[in-house]
Amino acid sequence: MSVVQAVVQNSPPLLEMRGISKSFPGVQALDSVDVALFPGTVTALIGENGAGKSTLVKILTGIYQHDSGAIIIDGAPVHFTSAEAAIRSGITAIHQETVLFDELSVAENIFLGHAPRNRLGLVNWSAMNARAAALLTSIDAPISPYMRLKDLSIAQRHLVAIARALSVEARVVIMDEPTAALSYKEVEDLFRIIERLKRQGKAILFISHKFEEVYQIAERFVVLRDGRSIGAGLLAKTGQDEIVRMMVGRSVDHVFPKLDVAIGNTVLKVSGYSHPTEFDNISFELRRGEILGLYGLVGAGRSEFCQSLFGITRPSAGSLELEGRSVEIRSPADAIGAGIVYVPEERGRHGAVLQMPIFQNFTMATLGRTTRAGFLREAEEFALARRYAERLDLRAAALSVPVGTLSGGNQQKVVIGKWLATRPKVIILDEPTKGIDIGSKAAVHAFMSELAGEGLSVIMVSSELPEILGMSDRVLVMREGRMAGIWNREGLDAETLVRAATGNQ
Amino acid sequence: MSTLTAEKQPLRHIPDKLSTPVRRLLGSWETLLAAVAIAIFTANSLASPHFLDPWNLSDATYNFTEKAMIAFAMTLLIVSGEIDLSVAAIIALASTAMGAAAQAGFQTPALVGIGLSVGLLCGAFNGLLVAHIGLPSIVVTIGTMSLFRGIAQIVLGDQAYGGYPSSFAWFGQGYMSDFSWWPIIPGLEVVTFEIVAFLVFALLFGILLHRTIFGRWIYAIGNNAFAAQFSGIPVQRTKFILFLLTGVMSGVAAVCLTSRLGSTRHTIAAGWELEVITMAVLGGVSILGGSGSIPGVVLAAIVMGLVTFGLGLLNVPGIVMSIFIGLLLILVIALPMVVRRIRSRSAT
Amino acid sequence: MSRILKYRELLLVAIILVLIAAFSARAPGFASPKSLANIFNDTSILIILALGQMAVILTKSIDLSVAANLSFTGMAVAMLNSAYPEVPLPLLIAAALGIGAGLGAINGFMVWRIGIPAIVATLGTLTIYRGMAFVLSGGAWVNQTQMTPAFLNTPRLPVLGLPLLGWTALLVIAIIATVFTRTVFGRSLYAAGGNPTAALYAGVDVGRAKFFAFMLSGALAGLCGYLWVSRYAVAYVDIAAGFELDTVAACVIGGISTLGGIGSVGGAVLGALFLGVIKNALPVINVSPFWQMAISGLVIIIAVLFNARQERRKGRLILRDAAKSRPVRMETPVEGAAA
Ligand SMILES: Nc1ncnc2c1ncn2[C@@H]1O[C@H](COP(=O)(O)OP(=O)(O)O)[C@@H](O)[C@H]1O
Ligand SMILES: [Mg+2]
């Protein structure tokens, strides 16, 4: 440890980002950000969802080009025009989303783009398979290099992604939330790998939400908030409270307003819901005015389960009772008819039709109400859209502009508004505040309480512990597709939930 | 902290629309097409003294009316994100079926019924494979394109069917003035059945796409089929119906074309799928799905008809004309893309 | 590369063998080595074109202009040969490859740099290239008598019982197989079509991969232009009309996924051979050649259905034992199989 400390203080940075800015249409994702990485040191990059961490990673790995600022390696400025250029400069990354090839073998997934070649310049498959097997063994991943990726589980894919990042001779290793989908034991394995990389003198950028992890593995930190670097320094000299303050910019207890709501009778009863590969034997009851938190690691099967409640996929076993009557849901139309609606996690892909006008998105699930004999009546569509736009305090230039021109938070309001217009009994919100700014986040939370207060039953999927703890009346934890338990709000602490979600008994 | 209910400031007003209807109309693709149509019309009438003759003009409409009727249905299909390359093959099969029926002594109403039914069945077959089994429409309809025309080829070999009843000729050759109720106004006597069918179908498909729930579903599916599904829209059923419609319209075109030609060979309507798609794309339909309008396709049909007619008056051979059609197709798709790229480059 | 693909190839081999056996029961000479060599030779052009098409389909695109390219290039080299009989054959073949590659590059450029969907771009060039063949020739034919013997006869020269045309196909198969499985370009085709986002992250330029795929497809189409004209000893505008569909059919039958990123050279070759065997068998068993089009249409549809069953995404495999119980043979033996 003292050796590391010495390194931290004496050596110049291996890589420096100075004044990096990057904007997307309508979003300033990064605004003059400074980050320095030192050899043999783990630097933690901390920030809320949407703070710009992944964007920073993508700039460092040549996937995005920054608008202004400089990247300096060993004192010399570099400019990456492609992912390949970044790899050649010795930068490798495990990206947040596993970007791999389903149809290719594990070995090729690890070595694509830098496969070992023979004297003729041809890909040397046997060397590639052998090296892949060695790499996988070195990270304790019992996966055959010959398997096709699509036959692997989510956790196994993460291990392949880690092996891929380690397959190049890199001096800088970036890990973007690598632990989000890993169980307790796998996280321990990962930390052992990080320690080894540290000893080899690599500079590591480690991104995570989880403070215990950060304090356990990292020496330095940089905090990002709304695309700006707010603070940086040594973790040993900085308390957790201070970092939280930097992250959020205000004290945390204001973010999650949970109103007290009278809990009524059982509305929804789920018994033994199962699917051949995604989830197994999920049972619970949901009452009027209740918010049920659904917690788990990324990829624990929460979204898959919710989508089957909504009729997207069919369960292989199990039954559903709504207000005491048994219902069978075979399609989203069935679910909507029964009063169950679902606000999906991927807003742009599943939630809103970004290219279509706001008012048409609002009325999409209730076209029967704004039409006569199948013919559209625009005036009524606008009236319905206006009602929910005002109720949700939507910020938009006009109701006829495409939803894609709105900010993430306002897009979310359109999706929620679309469902409220159907007058549902149960609303399922899948990561409702993912990727939206703090202001809108508070508004969404307030609104959820308000809905519960009006007698709606809410299922909220979230991977953020404070959100789960702050909002839920009860919390159901899923681990690898199975129920790990269900807890009441009283006396519930974060540790219990994390234990249940990661399987660390 | 502020909750929504606690907010005291007055609600901000969001207008319905930003621009006026006139503004939007002036900036639209349809306006541009109309201008192009007028320009070509003027150029043609200057280039050839025969162009402005009403009977000639009426004849010229055959260049596009049959294809346009398929193009209307194809527009809906492309807006929904699918495509049907088998339409010309459906014509061949429907025409062959009608030919065989005519040989067997069936009369005109039965022939029309057979033509439309074959179109419907072919469309249902495509729809089944694409919408219900979930196969990619490009490959499926490449397959059915071979299959449908192949069946026509098996039946016909290098022979031809003829001998249609004389009343059958009316669909492709008749004038509305054959009806006693058609008003006797000078000029209107040149209006053919096909022109009227073209206008009626334009109106029907226009209403279907732009004024009904079904039309809204088509746009939603074409822009984001997932979000449409997640909103409770019956994606599969909608697509199936669109394939049915495209099949039936191909059957309608088969009736008109067979009636006009008076005979059926297995090469009938060869290459039409390309012209139909070109017509839709020229009309402003995005080949990637999600946008397009029937008025645009009507104008595009007229533009293409005028171009072919004009080139025909100049004695340009058909295969050279197809070069123009191919170039036109690529240019109308490429130009907006290139312009957008240059604009966004100069903006940054 | 993967067991399922090999399984598909074995299945195709079995089907082809059964077909040959069945046909030779009706027509005894059908399975003789000479007849089989003849079938292979006759299918050579389709095989070569299918391999070019496969490169394009791997990148999630489609090239509908191959037959038109073939027609234009064939016409161009035939006219060159008849106008300048002294130009040596290798130069003409190089010209065919070059012209074809040029036309393919035009497609590739439109897809890569302008962003036109491949199907639209090549539907357009399909008519344009064939129209250009008409403009070039004025609609006239180039007949046997106008071409030099070397130009006409070289591909027909038998070596070890197989004409050079067939050997050309074998050579192209060998080269393409090496390129696809063992070069960076070849693997980038699989990456670009299999998962464009992941390809970007891995430093693969997806657009460039598409461009070169189209260029390869064009070059092979150009080569086939020469081969076709010499084989049938005539060049006219309509040669190989509709043949682009046969190339797509061969790929689809061979298990090349039109969604990109899946398929093997062996599959494409076997798909082409399947069509070749049927085409050659029809006259032998007294079925009119007019049946061929419908049969290939039907076979395309069956093949797409079959492919879709294999390609079906299996979801995310969240349940651990679900991932383990997949019917995938691991190197290690399964323990406790009795349980
Ligand atoms: N490709 C993109 N296009 C538009 N906006 C983007 C894109 N990628 C990220 N953003 C936006 O940039 C901001 C930062 O996102 P990101 O870097 O993913 O945050 P983090 O990883 O910290 O959660 C967010 O507001 C996000 O919506
Ligand atoms: Mg991120």
Neighbours of C250 (CB within 10 A): 32
Highest mean pLDDT among A78-92, A157-171, A208-222, B81-95: B81-95
| Mutate which of A54, A174, A205, A223 for ligand 1 pocket (most atoms within 8 A of beta carbon) | A54
Same domain, A115 and A262: no
Residue B2 included in any domain: no
Distance CA A394, CA A414 (A): 8
Judged by a CB distance cut-off of 8 A, whether residue A313 touches chain B is no
Same domain, A434 and A494: yes
CB contact under 8 Å between A446 and B224, yes or no, is no
CB contact under 8 Å between C318 and A154, yes or no, is yes
Residue A6 included in any domain: no
Both structure tokens of C225: 């232009």
pLDDT at B91 over 80: yes
Residue A11 is given by DSSP the state S
Residue A451 is given by DSSP the state H
The CATH number that applies at residue B265 is 1.10.3470
Q: What is the rounded average pLDDT of the residues A381-393?
A: 93
Which ligand 1 atom sits closest to the C-alpha of A57? 17
| Mutate which of A55, A63, A354, A431 for ligand 1 pocket (most atoms within 8 A of beta carbon) | A55
Whether residue A98 contacts residue C257, with contact meaning beta carbons closer than 8 Å, is answered with no
Our CA-based measurement puts residue A178 at a distance from the nearest CA of chain B, in whole angstroms, of 28
Looking at residue B307, its pLDDT comes to 87
Q: Give helix then strand counts, H and E, for chain C.
A: 14, 2
Give me the number of domains chain B comprises: 1
Whether residue C298 contacts residue B147, with contact meaning beta carbons closer than 8 Å, is answered with yes
The CATH number that applies at residue A167 is 3.40.50.300
Our CA-based measurement puts residue B128 at a distance from the nearest CA of chain A, in whole angstroms, of 19
Same domain, A405 and A319: no
Distance CA C282, CA C245 (A): 19
Question: Could you tell me the pTM of the whole model?
Answer: 0.89
Residues with CB under 6 A from ligand 1: A 24, 27, 29, 47, 49-55, 408, 435
| CA C216 to each of CA A446, C101, C212, C225, C324: distance values in angstroms, whole numbers, following the listed order | 59, 6, 6, 14, 41
Q: Could you tell me the pLDDT band of residue A493, with boundaries at 50, 70 and 90?
A: confident
pLDDT at A40 over 90: yes
Helix (H) or strand (E) holding A319: strand A317-322
Complex confidence, ipTM: 0.88
Dihedral sign for Cα atoms in the order C197, C202, C208, C209: negative
| A455-489 tens-digit pLDDT | 999 999 998 888 898 899 999 999 989 999 999 98
**What's the domain range around A268?**
250-339+424-505
Residue whose CA is closest, atom 18 of ligand 1? A54
pLDDT in tens, chain C (339 residues): 445 556 778 989 999 999 999 999 988 889 999 999 999 999 999 999 999 999 999 999 999 999 999 999 999 999 999 999 999 999 999 999 999 999 999 999 999 999 999 988 998 999 999 999 999 999 999 999 999 999 999 999 999 999 999 999 999 999 999 999 999 999 999 999 999 999 999 989 999 999 999 999 999 999 999 999 999 999 999 999 889 989 999 999 999 998 899 999 999 999 999 999 999 998 888 888 899 889 989 998 999 998 887 766 556 677 766 554 443 333 322 222 222
Of A84, A125, A299, the CB nearest to C318: A299
Neighbours of ion ligand 2 (CB under 5 A): A 53-54, 96
Name residues 86-125 of chain A within 8 A of C (Cβ).
86-87, 95, 99-105, 108, 112-113, 115, 121-123, 125
Neighbours of C291 (CB within 10 A): 16
Of C126, C130, C252, the CB nearest to B139: C252
Highest mean pLDDT among A8-17, B100-109, C287-296: B100-109
Give me the number of domains chain C comprises: 1
Where does chain C show beta strands of DSSP type E? 158-159, 162-163
Neighbours of C164 (CB within 10 A): 19
Residue B50 included in any domain: no
Same domain, A145 and A165: yes
| A229-247 tens-digit pLDDT | 999 999 999 888 888 788 8
Our CA-based measurement puts residue B212 at a distance from the nearest CA of chain A, in whole angstroms, of 4
Q: Which amino acid, B166?
A: S
If you measure CA to CA, which chain C residue comes closest to B316? C135
pLDDT at A3 over 50: no
**Residue-wise burial string across C30-62, b where 16 or more C-beta atoms lie within 10 A, e elsewhere:** beeeebbbbbbbbbbbbbbbbbbbbbbbbbbbb
Q: Which of helix, strand or coil describes residue B48?
A: coil
Q: Which of helix, strand or coil describes residue C157?
A: coil
Same domain, A442 and A418: no
User: Of A248, A263, A283, which residue is a domain's last?
Assistant: A248
Give me the number of domains chain A comprises: 3
**Comparison of pLDDT for A199 and A48, the residue scoring more:** A199
**Comparison of pLDDT for B19 and A16, the residue scoring more:** A16
The CATH number that applies at residue C263 is 1.10.3470
CA angle in degrees (0–180, nearest 5) for A410-A49-A364: 30
Same domain, A396 and A434: no
Distant-in-sequence, close-in-space partners of C11: CB < 8 Å, separation ≥ 6: none
Percent of chain A with pLDDT over 90: 62
Q: Which of helix, strand or coil describes residue A26?
A: coil
**How deeply is A355 buried, as exposed, middle or buried, from its count of CB atoms within 10 A (0-12, 13-18, 19+)?**
middle
pLDDT at A286 over 50: yes
What mean pLDDT, rounded, does chain B reach? 90
Distance CA C240, CA C70 (A): 8
Looking at residue A256, its pLDDT comes to 66
CB contact under 8 Å between B16 and A401, yes or no, is no
pLDDT at B10 over 70: no
**What's the domain range around C293?**
2-327+332-336
Residue A255 included in any domain: yes
Where does A5-82 show beta strands of DSSP type E? 15-24, 27-37, 42-46, 68-73, 76-78
Same domain, A165 and A44: yes
Same domain, A157 and A287: no
Give the end-to-end CA distance of chain C in Å, rounded to a whole number: 32
Looking at residue C321, its pLDDT comes to 65
Distance CA A96, CA A103 (A): 20
If you measure CA to CA, which chain A residue comes closest to B234? A333
CB contact under 8 Å between A99 and C204, yes or no, is no
**How deeply is A420 buried, as exposed, middle or buried, from its count of CB atoms within 10 A (0-12, 13-18, 19+)?**
buried
Distance A209 CA to ligand 2 centre (A): 10
Q: Which of B159, B120, B181 is nearest to B263 (CA)?
A: B159
CB contact under 8 Å between A153 and C318, yes or no, is yes
Residue whose CA is closest, atom 14 of ligand 1? A52
Which residues share a beta bridge with A458? A291, A427
Give residue for tokens 């994100």.
B81
Q: What is the dihedral of CA A97, A100, A103, A107, to 10 degrees?
A: -140
CB contact under 8 Å between A123 and C198, yes or no, is no
| B185-204 tens-digit pLDDT | 887 888 999 999 999 999 99
Q: Could you tell me the pLDDT band of residue A2, with boundaries at 50, 70 and 90?
A: very low
pLDDT at A88 over 80: yes
Of A382-386, A415-419, B14-18, C35-39, the least confident: B14-18
Q: Phi then psi for A282, rounded to 5 degrees?
A: -100, 125
Same domain, A387 and A278: no
Mutate one of B4, B7, B230 to test the A interface: name it (highest A CB count within 10 A).
Answer: B230
**Comparison of pLDDT for A40 and A256, the residue scoring more:** A40
Residue A25 included in any domain: yes
Distance CA A483, CA A271 (A): 12
Contacts of A398 in chain B (CB under 8 A): 14-18
Q: Which of helix, strand or coil describes residue C192?
A: helix
Looking at residue A255, its pLDDT comes to 57
Residue whose CA is closest, atom 2 of ligand 1? A24
Distance CA C146, CA C83 (A): 8
What mean pLDDT, rounded, does chain A reach? 89
Q: Which ligand is nearest to the CA of A48?
A: 1
Contacts of B216 in chain A (CB under 8 A): 360, 364, 367, 376
Q: What is the rounded average pLDDT of the residues B67-91?
A: 97
Give residue for tokens 């009426």.
B58
Judged by a CB distance cut-off of 8 A, whether residue B188 touches chain C is no
Both structure tokens of C5: 């693909």
Distance A39 CA to ligand 1 centre (A): 28
| B107-159 tens-digit pLDDT | 999 999 999 999 999 999 999 999 999 999 988 999 999 999 999 999 999 99
Both structure tokens of B333: 């798709």
Distance A304 CA to ligand 2 centre (A): 21
Q: Which ligand is nearest to the CA of A433?
A: 1
- Chain A: partners with 3+ C-beta pairs within 8 Å: B, C
| B328-338 tens-digit pLDDT | 888 888 887 88
Same domain, A359 and A438: no
Residue B163 included in any domain: yes
Which residues share a beta bridge with A225? A228
pLDDT at B2 over 60: no
Which residues share a beta bridge with B286? none
Our CA-based measurement puts residue C280 at a distance from the nearest CA of chain B, in whole angstroms, of 17
Helical ranges in A34-145 per DSSP H? 53-60, 83-88, 106-111, 125-138
pLDDT at B1 over 60: no
User: Of A363, A389, A422, which residue is a domain's last?
Assistant: A422
**What's the domain range around B181?**
55-341
Distance CA A495, CA B196 (A): 75
Q: Which of helix, strand or coil describes residue A385?
A: helix
Residue B23 included in any domain: no
Looking at residue A171, its pLDDT comes to 93
Judged by a CB distance cut-off of 8 A, whether residue C292 touches chain B is yes
**Residue-wise burial string across A193-208, b where 16 or more C-beta atoms lie within 10 A, e elsewhere:** bbeebbeeebbbbbbb
Chain centroid to Cα A460, Å, comes to 14
